[in-house]
Amino acid sequence: MTKINHWINNQIFTSQSGRAQDVWDPATGQSEKQVVLADETDVNKAVEAAQTAFPAWANFSPLKRARILDKFKTLLWDNVDALAKVISAEHGKTHDDALGEITRGIEVVEFSTAIPHLLKSDYSDQVGTNVDSYNMRQSLGVVVGITPFNFPAMVPMWMFPIAIACGNTFVLKPSERDPSTSMMIADLLKQAGLPDGVFNIVHGDKVAVDALLTHPDVQAVSFVGSTPIAKYIYETGMQNGKRVQALGGAKNHMIIMPDADIDMAVNALIGASYGSAGERCMAISVAVPVTDAVADALIERLKPKVEALKIGPASDKATEMGPLITAQHRDKVSSYIDIGEQEGATLVLDGRGFQQKMQGYENGYYLGGTLFDNVTEEMRIWKEEIFGPVLSVVRKPDYQSAVKLVNQHQYANGTAIFTRDGDTARNFARHIQVGMVGVNVPIPVPMAFHSFGGWKGSLFGDHAMHGNEGVRFYTKIKTVTTRWMSGLREDPQFTLPTL
């Protein structure tokens, strides 16, 4: 049984916590690895290493930090296939999907290599007699990332490249369900020349999370996960004096207007709803066709495509949708199908029991593509995040009621509209109460030089991830006012200077 330990000071750190849990292959239901779970002592060691490394790293020139990240980027490309295989083995997503995840993460690394420009500040000459003023952005210190299972490469790379580019040191607490990717990333950072202690990893559960949230040397915390945990991370971190950005859950809607290209919308829905088995915070889980005619056409075209999904292990190159991450999560998603039936939604396609069809993989955590029609706002399958391959269709008679449906939801992460009408699209983009919007784009994940973040129950804190928002989150501003007297002298002043 392979043991996965922590990474502290650029080397594997063997924990004495005595706690570990299995890491499962979701395609087979088998385990050949265990991840060691940190205790408070392990967390203290990681934070201590980061705190010790911070002064020297913060004193590196931004250009020197950028060059290390640039070498890291090259190493990521050189090892992208190996990274994708590890992701597929522990998460279950297809190889191509894993490659796409890594590519989006690398884009943030590329953005971070521009840090010499991104940290440039303002300078005002002669704001008063012989007085100049300027500001600078300086690093915070030790910062922490707590990341989910569904993107073991991309989500950490939303955080640590910008954080360390800005001069901070970093402690990552990845998901204990798929921990190996982060260890490969740590080794690549070492190969790129990152000094000891700048990037550290502690694996673990709530014990490790609480130790990080309450540690006095931790200055900021970034989190991606469910809304209840995001709220807990935000409140606990803030109570302990941390700066916090915590991204929570989602229930992303796609409105399909009567003038939309219906085949384009259907193909977009298939990928956006069932890709990665629906385990994406930007997955489309609710389709909102406007008028019954559009809804009927949508269901008619969707049903055969969902039935035809090639479901299997990532090792099969023909696979379009892999298993869910754990047996427990598969059962939770399956329970929502039970709930949808009980609430009166029309079950067009039922994915329960699909694993029984998987010859040789009957013990894997598979669920077939599921499709509900006639879902209403009173139903739990509309209200709650399911995080699986379950698409709900909510029919609406007109554009206004469709927009109202989206705006009244507690989550506001992403949304999309499919239409040929520019006026409708512009109105939607301006007035929808959601953080990320797609127009004929089903999964509107921003590029690295923009920022990722939702509204309402999907984000706690004032800053979104990566882009300029990320730079602002991982730095604090300092304003300096200088006066050079040039031989002038003044009497003492006892009022606030006005320059």
Give me the active site residues, please.
Answer: 281
Q: Is 67 exposed, middle or buried (0-12, 13-18, 19+ CB in 10 A)?
A: middle
Tell me the C-alpha distance between 346 and 158, whole Å: 39
Q: Which amino acid is at 21?
A: Q
CA 7 to chain centre: 22
Instruction: Give one DSSP letter per residue of 98-144, joined into a string.
Output: HHHHHHHHHHHHHHHTTHHHHT---EEEEEETTEEEEEEEEE-SEEE
Query: Using an 8 Å Cβ cutoff, are 390 and 368 in contact?
Result: no
Tell me the C-alpha distance between 64 and 46, whole Å: 24
Q: H or E segment at 408?
A: none
Q: Which residues contact 156 (CB under 8 A, 6 or more apart)?
A: 105, 145, 147, 172, 174, 182, 185
Query: Using an 8 Å Cβ cutoff, are 287 and 295 in contact?
Result: no
Q: H or E segment at 248?
A: none
Of 88, 202, 104, 215, nearest to 150 by C-alpha is: 88
Instruction: Give one DSSP letter per residue of 449-483, joined into a string.
Output: TS-B--EETTEESS--BSHHHHHHHTEEEEEEEEE
Q: Which amino acid is at 399?
A: Y
- In the structure encoding, which two tokens stand for residue 476, read together? 């604090």
Tell me the C-alpha distance between 206 and 3, whole Å: 20
Tell me the C-alpha distance between 63 and 65, whole Å: 5
Q: Is 132 exposed, middle or buried (0-12, 13-18, 19+ CB in 10 A)?
A: middle
Cα radius of gyration rounded to whole Å, the chain: 25
Q: Looking at the chain, how many residues does it have?
A: 499
